[in-house]
Amino acid sequence: MLKKLSVAIVLVLLGSVYAQTKVVWWDFLGGGDGVRMKSLIDDFNSSHDDIQIEATTLEWGPSYYTKVQTSAAVGESPDIMTYHVSRFPLGIQGNVLRPISEEELASVGLSTADYPSNLIDAMTFDGNLYGVPLDIHAIIMYFNKDILGPLGLLGDDGLPNFTDNLENYNAAMQTIKDAGKLPLSVATGNDGTVWRVFYSMIGQQGASFIEGNEVTVGDAGVKALDTIRNWIEQGYAPENTDYAASIALFTSGEAAMHINGVWEVPTMVDLAAQGELFDWSAVRIPVWFDQPATWADSHAFAIPNDARNPISDEKLAAVLEIMSWMNKNSLFWATAGHIPAYTPVVESADYQAMEPNATYAVLADNAFFDPASTVTGVASPAYDAALNLLVPSINGQLPSDQAIQMLKQELESQLR
């Protein structure tokens, strides 16, 4: 009798093992993002007996997306992968992304209504949704309260009181300069940063960057470049500054303001916790032109469209559960500076108490995502053009109108 009972227990245990669904996961997340995502994956695995994530982190950049395309072609795709929303157009063109239906979202308690509509629109092509967003990440303006406060540049709410138009912003920078401080630290020699500031200014002018196969940025692009160039000429921002140096100028207390991605919030938080930073905070970037708009992208989850080895119903159910769990537990992800895409988390009391995150979360309403084009997005030809044309222009080496004309020619040659 005891022997039969032991055998039965073994069979039950074996059955539970074989019932477990293993999900192959690929991501490109390094640094603090990578540490946080690994922690989330560990938490998911420890809380689920029926699903286990087997995660692999690959190199960020063009090589990641090339590997995704190759793996789908040969039937060796992961079951789930992280994907930048700005790269979706290229993924759609290459037929490497599987659509996700509203019914499939509903099966794990999600709905497109749970996310900002502009973000869902950026992930929808020909009426089909191709991913589930995890966050919105954008550029913001960090500021040193110890510099701005004594100069009368903070309101009663402790936030900058000059971010409503370009005239007031420039006047504030002159005030800071007159006080012997560098007004603004921004990576004027970095392709990504220059593109993000430039593209935000395009959106703030209500202009488009690409329509169909035509680059339409025109006069709005010239105005954006001239504006940034003027900051450098006036001594408000240093020229040809690389990414690391731009951060150092701010964290050392030399610069009063710093424009960079939300992903640097942990840098500031850690320095402040160590007693190595001044009184700081962050807000969305100023409204320099006609309307609020901020360059933004999103880390999203996607399912490969693997024609040789389509995802099974069992794996699909597991992948959808992972997407749902990650979104509903994305408060921890927000400690990386990102704005959770899942609205219930943003509206939660815990997130609203998280500063400065809650203050700049308003930018999600006017997030200006890259055009739905194969030549834009992270690690794209648009970033190459930013390095080769926009950076020289703002640093006085190429007239702004020529830079825009050359950018138009370069990108349109790749759109035909």
Comparison of pLDDT for 337 and 16, the residue scoring more: 337
Mean pLDDT for the stretch of residues 373-377? 94
Longest dimension (CA), the chain: 91
Mean pLDDT for the stretch of residues 267-282? 97
Using the predicted structure, report yes or no on whether residue 16 has a pLDDT greater than 90.
no
Using the predicted structure, report yes or no on whether residue 232 has a pLDDT greater than 90.
yes
What pLDDT shows up at residue 6? 52
The rounded distance, in Å, linking the Cα atoms of 353 and 362 is 14
Question: Is residue 336 within 8 Å of 33, Cβ to Cβ?
Answer: yes
Looking at every residue in the chain, the average pLDDT score rounds to: 94
* Range 2-136+297-364 has CATH code 3.40.190.10: yes
CATH superfamily membership of 138-294+371-415 = Periplasmic binding protein-like II (3.40.190.10)
Where do we find the tokens 């037929």?
95
Quickly state the pLDDT bin for 72 (edges 50, 70, 90): confident
Quickly state the pLDDT bin for 19 (edges 50, 70, 90): confident
Q: Interior CA angle at 138 toward 321 and 396, to 5°?
A: 150
Quickly state the pLDDT bin for 73 (edges 50, 70, 90): confident
Q: In 91-230, where do the E strands start and end?
A: 124-125, 128-129, 132-133, 135-144, 182-185, 210-211, 214-215
Identical topology for domains 2-136+297-364 and 138-294+371-415: yes
Using the predicted structure, report yes or no on whether residue 95 has a pLDDT greater than 50.
yes
Across the strands, what pairs with 295?
368
Using the predicted structure, report yes or no on whether residue 271 has a pLDDT greater than 50.
yes
Residue 63 tokens, joined:
């090589």
What residues does each domain of the chain span? 2-136+297-364, 138-294+371-415
What pLDDT shows up at residue 18? 54
93: three-class secondary structure by DSSP: helix
- Tell me: the pLDDT tens digits for 293-307? 999 999 999 999 988
Using the predicted structure, report yes or no on whether residue 223 has a pLDDT greater than 50.
yes
What pLDDT shows up at residue 61? 86
Using the predicted structure, report yes or no on whether residue 9 has a pLDDT greater than 80.
no
- Tell me: the pLDDT tens digits for 164-208? 999 999 999 999 999 999 999 999 999 999 999 999 999 999 999
DSSP-derived letter for residue 154 is B
How large a percentage of the chain has pLDDT more than 90? Answer: 92
Q: In 34-166, where do the E strands start and end?
A: 51-57, 80-84, 124-125, 128-129, 132-133, 135-144
Range from 2-16, 55-69, 385-399 that averages highest in pLDDT: 385-399
Residue 333 host element (H or E): none
Mean pLDDT for the stretch of residues 378-391? 95
